[in-house]
Structure 1
Amino acid sequence: MSELPDRRLLLVHAHPDDETINNGVTMARYVAEGAHVTLVTCTLGEEGEVLVPELEHLAADRTDQLGRHRIGELAAAMDELGVTDHRFLGGPGKYRDTGMIYDDEGNAAVPPQTRPESFWQADLVAAANDLVPIIREIRPQVLVTYDEFGNYGHPDHIKAHRVATYAAALAAARSYREDLGEPWDVAKIYWMAMSENSFRDSLRRLRDAGDTTTFEGMDPDAEYKMITPDRLIDCVIEGEAYVDRKMNAMKAHATQITVDGPFFALSNNNGHQIWASEHYRLVKGTAAPGPDGQEHDLFAGL
């Protein structure tokens, strides 16, 4: 690979579309600023629902071709964001989407039966060894992935968190697998987060606009495991200038995301404000907050 830019960001995600929903404006911003952005996607998302009627035949319980189709959707989304370095962990299709169920508390959980080739069943060391050489090649100063709960319980998100965390540790060890490249210690690791204040405010705005069906009518005041108290959030990326790119990238994931529902139509400005802010928890490295007590740059202090 040719000489890399001074700033390098690596994101580890479970399925195509996770990256755009969670980090679309972040990725677009850093590409625009000249940083090197690398996306590693762990599965093809074979078990996803198909929201396009004429493509329903691709589903896992029919022709099982959805994963291959989603490779194209991901490529189109990355074109919208400007990301040219996107890879699948171990190569396309090595690890299969595990699928998920909902538990009694409404969180995603592991299905009662999972395939042997599912990402959830993958050996942790083997999967980490597919990521270590990427870390050592790219030498990112910043790594972004999920929290230990996978942010909402999906088994592949949890596994992506574990693989990213373990691979980052192994990549830094001088004596570990010299054949996988020169050691590299990632300076800052962030877990993406859903701001509690933003989440509750968005639900209240929907209610005020008369929409009680989006997100299954979730109660703005209920307890949710997937949200993060704002006191625990270290970095907020405000991406107003890039939110249109994010929305176009979401449209590219057409089998998974419908962007014409009430939530998106809820006054363009409101909808865009909701999607333009992306939140992060710093779990390794030293925070360098600004005057408001938060970072607004993942590379702050480096």
Structure 2
Amino acid sequence: MTDRRLLLVHAHPDDETIGNGATMAKYVAEGAAVTLVTCTLGELGEVLVPDLEHLAAHRDDGLGQHRIGELDKAMEILGVTDHRFLGGAGRYRDSGMIYADDGSATVPPDVSDDSFWRADLLEASTHLVEVIREVRPQVLVTYDDFGGYGHPDHVQAHRVAHYASSLAAVSSFRSELGEAWDIPKIYWSAMSASRMRAGLRALRDAGDTTTFEGMDPDALPPMAVEDADLSAEIDGAAYVDKKLDAMRAHATQIAADSPFFALSGSFGNQIWATEHYRLARGVSSAADGELESDLFGGVAGH
């Protein structure tokens, strides 16, 4: 095994690239082992390519299979060779989402029985235990308890990741799945509120009122985390082009004229290149009041 091993648990194809693409590319380039586990195929995502609208769930229901190819291409761009679906491709179906009155995502009233949201927590977590014991990561990255913005599959991925990390460390739990492994550090993906405010204000000052229209720098969405609560800041400037290209690979989900790419000038590149995290388990390697610059700080070679 390599000295540094990172495991990421995400809900749908494209989540990993938007939130952690630069981090993934950076650690792959530095020789770390990077494993991605995706919990659904994203069958209920929007289809933003007109010629592929027939793939939508209410028509041919072929979007999930198509997104496997998009994920393959994105991971090839980032250099990630170990990416898997929880329990196998298609084991858990995208739960979908609706927007609540407060603007956050929540569970739709017609969520299907085979959805990830309705998955048995022990069963789903056991699938991940097997992966954890195989790859033995020092660092796990997933969502916070709200899933960033409330999407039920993100929330469920958080639950599965944390339950599995606890079960994987118990030597008497399903010993046939491999030797027990206790993950030293767990991080939650985050976005820096100060950077988001600065970016929005820079756009407005430049006369751009359409990019991220309706987003108020003084009333940011819940995925924006105040800097005092951030634990780590990964500088992926050398890999931001790979991240943006990997985002383009998720073409059914991220339009070519999307605000993500509208920000891809020099200022936008600074935003997409720097990825932030909250430490949920383990000990920070940074001095008090400072952010870690390496997720493996204090545990490499463990």
TM over 0.5: yes
Matched AA of 1:201: A
Aligned-partner SS, 1:193: strand
- The answer on whether the counterparts of 1:25 and 1:239 sit within 8 Å (CA) in structure 2 is yes
The reply to whether residue 21 of structure 1 matches residue 18 of structure 2 is yes
CA distance in 2, matches of 1:143, 1:282: 10
What stretches of structure 1 move > 3 A for 4+ residues in a row? 259-263
Say if 2:44 is the partner of 1:47: yes
**Corresponding residue of 2:152:** 155
2:76 to 79, 97, 100: 79
> CA separation of 1:166/1:263 partners in 2, compared to 1, >3 Å: closer, same or farther?
closer
What is the rounded CA distance, in whole Å, between the counterparts of 1:277 and 1:259 in structure 2?
21
- Describe the superposition over 1:112-158 as per-residue Cα deviations: whole angstroms up to 9, x where unpaired: 11100000000000000110010000000000000000010000000
Q: Report the TM-score when normalising by structure 2.
A: 0.96
Q: Is the 8 A contact 1:290 1:296 kept in 2?
A: no
1:178 aligns with 175
Helix, strand or coil for the counterpart of 1:163? helix
The alignment partner of 1:91 has SS state of coil
- 2:272 aligned partner: 275
Code of the residue aligned with 2:170 in structure 1: it is A
Measured against aligned partners, the alpha-carbon deviations of 1:227-261 in whole angstroms (never above 9, x if no partner) come to 21101101000111000000000000000002434
Tell me, in whole angstroms, the C-alpha distance in 1 between the residues paired with 2:142 and 2:264.
Answer: 31
Q: How many residue pairs were aligned? A: 299
Structure 1 regions of 5+ residues with no counterpart? none
2:70–2:249 Cα contact (<8 Å) kept: yes
Q: Which amino acid aligns with 2:84?
A: R
C-alpha deviation, 1:31, in angstroms: 0.2
Quick one: distance in 1 between partners of 2:152 and 2:187? 19
Distance of aligned partners of 1:262 and 1:47 in 2 relative to their CA distance in 1, 3 Å threshold = closer
Superposed CA deviations along residues 52-86 of structure 1, whole A, max 9, x for unmatched, are 00000000111000000000000000000000000
1:165 aligns with 2:166: no
Aligned counterpart in structure 2 of residue 59 of structure 1, from 56, 60, 68: 56
Separation in structure 1 between the aligned mates of residue 294 and residue 212 of structure 2, nearest angstrom: 30
**Aligned residue runs from structure 1 range 215-254, under 5 A:** 215-254=212-251
> In 1, distance between residues paired with 2:49 and 2:289?
44
How big is the shift at 1:212?
1.8
What is the SS of the residue equivalent to 2:224? coil
| Amino acid in the other structure paired with 1:224 | P
TM-score (norm 1): 0.96
Alpha carbons 2:232, 2:292 under 8 Å: kept: yes
8 Å CA contact retained: 2:211, 2:262: no
Give yes or no for contact 1:206–1:263 (8 Å, CA) kept in 2. Answer: no
C-alpha spacing 1:5/1:54, structure 2 compared with 1 (3 Å): same
Of the structure 1 ranges 217-226 and 130-139, higher mean CA displacement relative to structure 2 is found in 217-226
* CA RMSD between the two structures: 1.3
Counterpart Cα distance in 1 of 2:43 and 2:114: 12
1:89-168 correspondence runs (5 A): 89-168=86-165
Structure-2 change in CA distance of 1:267 and 1:227 (3 Å): closer
Counterpart contact for 1:8–1:141, Cα < 8 Å: yes
Rounded to whole Å, the distance in 2 between the matches of 1:292 and 1:277 is: 18
Residues 48 and 99, structure 1, Cα contact 8 Å, conserved in 2: yes
2:18 partner SS = helix
Distance across 2 between alignment mates of 1:293 and 1:250: 30
Compared with structure 1, are the counterparts of its residues 112 and 221 closer, same or farther at alpha carbon in structure 2 (3 Å cutoff)?
A: same
